[in-house]
Amino acid sequence: MKRYLPFILYGILCFVVIAGARSGLIDTYQQLIIMFIGINIILCSSLNLINGYMGEFSCGHAGFMAVGAYVTSILNVWLFTSSQIFGEPVLSPVAAVFLFPVTLIVGGIAAALAGLLVAIPSVRTRGDYLAIITLAVNYIVKSSIENIQVIGGARGFMGMGKVVDSMTGVLNLPWVMIWIFAFTAFCIWVLNHFVNSTYGKGIIAIRDDEIAAEIMSVDTNRMKIVAFTLSSGMAGVAGGLFAHVLGYINPGSFTIMKSTEIMVMVYLGGMGSLSGSVLSAVSFTLLMEILRPLQVYKWVLIPLLLIILMLFRPEGIMGNRELTDVFPKLRRFFPSKEL
Amino acid sequence: MPGTAFHYHKLFLNDGLITSGAYKLTLEMFFQNFLNALQWGSFYALIALGYTLVYGVLLLINFAHGDIFMVGAYIGFFIASFFLGSYAFHLPFALSGNVIFVFTVIITMVLTAGVGVTIERVAYRPLRKKGAGRLYVVITALMCGLVLENGNLALLGASRKSFPDLIEKSIYTIGGVTFTNIKILVIVTTILVFLFLEAIVRKTKIGMAMRAISYDRVAVLLMGIPLDIVIVFTFILGSSLAALAGILFVTAYPVLEPYMGAMVGWKAFIAAVVGGIGEIRGAFVGGFILGFIEIYVAAVFPSTLRDLIAFAILLLLLSLKPTGIFGIARAQKI
């Protein structure tokens, strides 16, 4: 029973939020923030796998997010809506309710394939050279999308609003929010089990000492490829959700700035701490919204706050500990954390 | 965050730098673009030199460097305006444009070096003393860059400023290839700066200390080398180079805006890595390679493809030679 308690509590939380959204107690602005928190949790924890657990420096996460966002959006618009680009819907718009998660996962797979672009050179290079490769891949993805005129090029791509409409037409629920809740929980669950499994511990071994890991029969090349594809796949799913929250995407949303934002969340939360990633994604998103009235000064204040944080607590909120390490009583509920 | 830097960057390239539109490459076109590429690569090389200097000593990617370049351009703008008498205070005598330019360059380099050293003192050094991981310092550097960019935006507003024409532009034409004295100035300065840096790093005592620090930071202290002084010196060199690049950049393309450093900075960093980061020669060659690729790609293909092809080529270069052109893979001891 205790094993399932976190899931039950999370389920109740989701139910309350969805009920609140449905009844109008939580207005659309607050819903938007809640959805962004979910997306940021996925992005941050997936990047933490690379930058935190594996100790590499990937600074192009937004590129994979863009791949997922575009693939999912194009699939959905093509399949379920009548648009100028693709004409009549291929399937009945009603099917969107069931197939939406499928398209999200397809987007994730596409992003994971793009992640191979980074993963394969990562076998040969490490550190700063790998950082550059991720950076270049981010530019390449953005620039490629800008040059494909069919999907709008630099003007962006829209029509996802109709997909969401056709889903709410079947059953009036905040569908995008539901799927964000579901995928956030799924990603955290997968990552938690992955990094705590014997197989996944190879990733932490790579961070600590790659050569020693290799000697201890960890297939480092394979681990790196697995980590990169897993992480970029999750970023792709987050991108697909992001596209459907906004209903409009353009290549300008997936620049280095976006990657930096995700990176900041990872280091704010602490490298190699999943609960730290969740905490920092929540607090960073909220902080951004609270400081919104400051307008341009917001972007002076937030970096300054982070510099001060780095000076006094360079390891981030949680360091590489988990909440269960700080509050050992919580350990009862997360038996997988037992070492 | 607004993505102005990106549009702005493109604007420059289409604004007379490239003779674009002509898709067939004649010999004249080739030489014209060759000169353009030399100039464009000079900026990348100058900024990449700053990256590589700091990296060579501290193994720190100083992501604030592109923004120090921007700060340099702005300081230069204010000093030039001051000398030209745009403010309440007037000099009792009028100076000629060239003299003002020289003064502007010198004063800007000094002031910008101050900015660079301040950042090192306030943000990087405490982290270094604490022995924090390298990546935390990198993130701090990124944040410093953001503070500079957005602080500038908040203080001075989003309106673009235009740099006064200090040097009288003269245009020469030799065999159908036109070039300006500014272009020559930029290219020659970059080559001189490169030779100067090579001399410092290879021939002088402080240069030897800089190289020593990157090998073994503990042994360096035992040898009686003042670590902090050498690091401050490195930052002075790097930041004043960025200031020089900033002034030359706005002399060639006289528009200033807060995000001008971001994009150029990232690209120059990539150039430095392609050349082999930590190597002075590498930064110099990498900067020019990036300049050449960008100019020729934009001259032959539609300019929207420029980033795509440029980065694809760089990626290919890196996967062929993972440590960059001049970089040497350090043997790992087990």
Q: Is the Cβ pair A137, B139 closer than 8 Å?
A: no
DSSP type of residue B304: G
C-alpha B122/C-alpha B109 separation (Å) is: 20
Among the listed ranges A221-230, A296-305, A325-334, B228-237, which one has the minimum average pLDDT value? A325-334
pLDDT for B2 equals 41
| Secondary structure letter of residue A57 according to DSSP | -
Name the residue among B135, B150, B154 with its Cβ closest to that of A57: B135
Q: Answer whether residue B25 shows pLDDT above 60.
A: no
* Chain centre to alpha carbon of residue B43: 6
Q: What is the DSSP letter of A94?
A: G
Domain map (residue ranges) of chain B? 4-320
Using CA coordinates, name the residue in chain A closest to B137. A310
pLDDT tens for B222-281 read 888 888 899 999 999 999 999 999 999 999 988 898 888 888 888 898 898 888 888 889
pLDDT band at A24; cut points 50, 70, 90: confident
Structure confidence at residue B331 (pLDDT): 58
- For helices B260-275 and B4-12, give the axis angle rounded to 10 degrees: 70
The answer to whether the Cβ–Cβ distance between A132 and B274 falls below 8 Å is yes
Measure the CA–CA gap between A68 and A104, rounded to whole angstroms. Answer: 8
pLDDT over threshold 80, residue A57: yes
Residue B14 has pLDDT above 70, yes or no: no
pLDDT per residue as tens digits for the range B118-135? 999 998 998 888 877 777
Check the CA dihedral A66-A72-A73-A78 and report its sign.
positive
Any B CB within 8 A of A262 CB: no
pLDDT level of residue B88 (50, 70, 90 thresholds): low
Mark yes or no for CB contact B324/A310 under 8 Å: no
The count of CB pairs under 8 A between chains A and B is 129
Shortest CA gap A310–chain B (Å): 7
Question: At residue B21, does pLDDT exceed 60?
Answer: no
Q: Name the least confident of A119-133, B14-28, B171-185, B253-267.
A: B14-28
**What's the whole-number mean pLDDT along residues A111-137?**
83
Helix axes A201-208, A220-246, angle to 10 degrees: 110
Chain A residues near residue B136 by CB distance under 8 angstroms = 267, 310, 314-315
Between CA B320 and CA B322 the distance in angstroms is 6
Angle formed at CA A254 by CA A253 and CA A258, multiple of 5 degrees:
95
Nearest C-alpha in A relative to B311 = A136
Give the number of C-alpha atoms closer than 13 A to the C-alpha of residue A173, restricted to the C-beta side: 14
Model confidence at B111, in pLDDT bands (50, 70, 90)?
very high
pLDDT of res. B305: 85
Closest CB to A310: pick one of B136, B149, B304. B136
The letter for the amino acid at B114 is G
What's the gap in Å between the CA of A335 and the closest CA on chain B?
31
Find the CB nearest A303 among B143, B311, B323.
B143
* Residue B6: band (very low, low, confident or very high) from pLDDT cuts 50, 70, 90: very low
Higher pLDDT, A95 or A332: A95
Cβ atoms of residues B41 and B291 within 8 Å? yes
- Distance, in angstroms, between B316 CA and closest chain A CA? 10
Determine the distance in angstroms separating the CA of B60 from the nearest CA of chain A, rounded to an integer: 10
pLDDT value for A335: 53
Residue B315 and residue A129: Cβ atoms within 8 Å? no
Q: Give me the helices (H) in chain A, please.
A: 5-23, 28-48, 61-80, 96-122, 127-147, 160-170, 175-196, 201-208, 210-215, 220-246, 256-269, 274-290, 298-312, 323-326
**Closest Cβ opposite residue B154 in set A124, A137, A297:** A297
pLDDT greater than 90 at residue B177: no
Domain ranges across chain A: 2-255
pLDDT at B243: 95
CB contact under 8 A, B318 and A125: yes
Of chain B, the percentage scoring pLDDT greater than 90 comes to 34
Q: What is the average per-residue pLDDT within A198-221? A: 88
Across A311-328, average pLDDT: 79
Higher pLDDT, B80 or B97: B80
d(CA B136, CA A311): 10
pLDDT tens profile A213-261: 889 888 888 999 999 999 999 999 999 999 999 989 999 889 888 998 8
What's the pLDDT score for residue A338?
A: 42
Listed range (A115-129, A160-174, B303-317) with the worst mean pLDDT: A115-129
Is the four-CA dihedral B296, B311, A70, B10 of positive or negative sign? Answer: negative
**B3:A257 CB<8 A:** yes
**Residue B171: which residues within 8 A CB-CB, separation 6 or more?**
B178, B179, B180
Query: Taking CB atoms and an 8 Å limit, are A133 and B305 in contact across chains?
Result: no
Residue A160 neighbours by CB under 8 Å, 6+ apart: A73, A76, A77, A243, A244, A246, A247, A248, A249
pLDDT, residue B38, reads 93
Identity of the residue numbered A261 = E
Give the closest-approach CA distance of B184 to chain A in angstroms.
Answer: 31
- Average pLDDT over chain B reads 84
> Would you call A131 an interface residue with chain B, using a CB distance cutoff of 8 Å?
yes
User: Is the predicted ipTM greater than 0.90, yes or no?
Assistant: no
Give A6's contacts (C-beta < 8 A, 6+ positions apart).
Answer: A333, A334
Query: Residue A243's pLDDT is what?
Result: 94
Helix axis angle, A28-48 to A220-246, nearest 10°: 170
Task: Please give the pLDDT value at position B332.
Answer: 58
- The answer to whether the CB atoms of B132 and A314 lie below 8 A apart is yes
Q: Which residues of A touch B140 (CB under 8 A)?
A: 306-307, 310
Assess whether pLDDT exceeds 50 at residue B11. no
Cβ neighbours around A216 below 10 Å, total: 10
Distance between terminal CA atoms of chain B?
A: 45
Host H or E run for residue A158: strand A157-158
Mean pLDDT of A148-165: 86
Ranges A65-74, A278-287, B303-312: which has the least confidence = B303-312
A323 has a chain B CB within 8 A of its CB: no
In this structure, chain B runs to a length of 334
B100 and B166 in contact (C-beta within 8 Å)? Answer: yes
Distance CA B160, CA B151 (A): 15
Backbone φ and ψ of B276, nearest 5°? 110, 95
**pLDDT tens for each residue of A58-105:** 888 999 999 999 999 999 998 888 877 777 788 887 888 888 999 999
Distance from C-alpha of B184 to C-alpha of B141, rounded to nearest angstrom: 33
- What letter does residue B120 receive in the DSSP assignment? I
Partner-chain contact A51 B135, CB within 8 Å = yes
Query: CATH number of B4-320: 1.10.3470, 2.120.10, 1.10.540, 2.60.120?
Result: 1.10.3470
pLDDT recorded at residue B173: 85
Task: Provide mean pLDDT across the span B28-42.
Answer: 89
* Widest pairwise Cα distance in chain B: 68
Q: Does pLDDT of B86 surpass 80? A: no
CA A205 to CA A238: how far, in whole Å? 27
Contact status, residue B287 vs residue B274, Cβ threshold 8 Å:
no
In angstroms, the separation between the Cα of residue A325 and the nearest Cα of chain B is 22
Looking at residue B7, its pLDDT comes to 42
CA distance B165 to chain A (A): 31
